Amino acid sequence: MDGVISLRDLRRTEGATKEFALSEPVGDALEVGLVHIPSDRVVEAQGVLEAVGDGVWVDGEASAEVDAQCSRCLTDFSYTTQAEIKELFVYEDFAEQYADEDVSFVKDDAIDLEPAIRDCLILDQPLVTLCRPDCQGLCPECGANLNDEPEHSHPDTTDSRWSGLASWGSMS
């Protein structure tokens, strides 16, 4: 993904704004946990760049279709994710003031949005991916998908080592 945007139109004029829109393949595949965005998948990003005192504030949104695997039933599925881009790009003359902070820098009157877009897409993914909110998961005994077989059951088998306790609760 080439997320480089020229800032020449802003001319470091505080309060000046510029809209941007990108639509490009993600480049290197993104993967976190059971979530995957293939390298050829198109990422859409749009928003506004605003010149502020020390740099350029980016306020936008990125979206992409994500391939995932359900954490409960292991079914593969896809969904569209949308994440906010909120990032300050600091002019290099202010680098010393921001030395202790994790900020991106304006270089050669341009900013590279690719790292910010990649970060926001990855950080916005859920820790537990579910194919649907009421996913029943897999049978712990045989591994059958309980979403496909909601009436799935097994005969009650009690381990013979516990048979002495079976009558314990029924004593009066």
What does the pLDDT read at residue 170?
60
| Contact assessment for residue 130 and residue 71, using Cβ atoms and an 8 Å cutoff | yes
Cα distance between residue 3 and residue 24, in whole Å:
9
Closest CA to 138 of 127, 126, 149, 123: 149
pLDDT digits (tens, 9 = 90+) for 49-66: 999 988 899 999 999 999
pLDDT band at 172 (very low <50, low <70, confident <90, very high): low
DSSP assignments along the chain, one per residue: ---EEE-TTTTT-TT-EEEEEEEEE-SS-EEETTEEE-TT-EEEEEEEEEEETTEEEEEEEEEEEEEEE-TTT--EEEEEEEEEEEEEEEEGGGTTTTTTS--EEEBTTEEE-HHHHHHHHHHTS-SS--SSTT---B-TTT--BTTT-TT--------GGGHHHHTGGG--
Q: Give the chain's mean pLDDT.
A: 88
**Model confidence pTM above 0.85:** no
What does the pLDDT read at residue 1?
67
pLDDT band at 76 (very low <50, low <70, confident <90, very high): very high
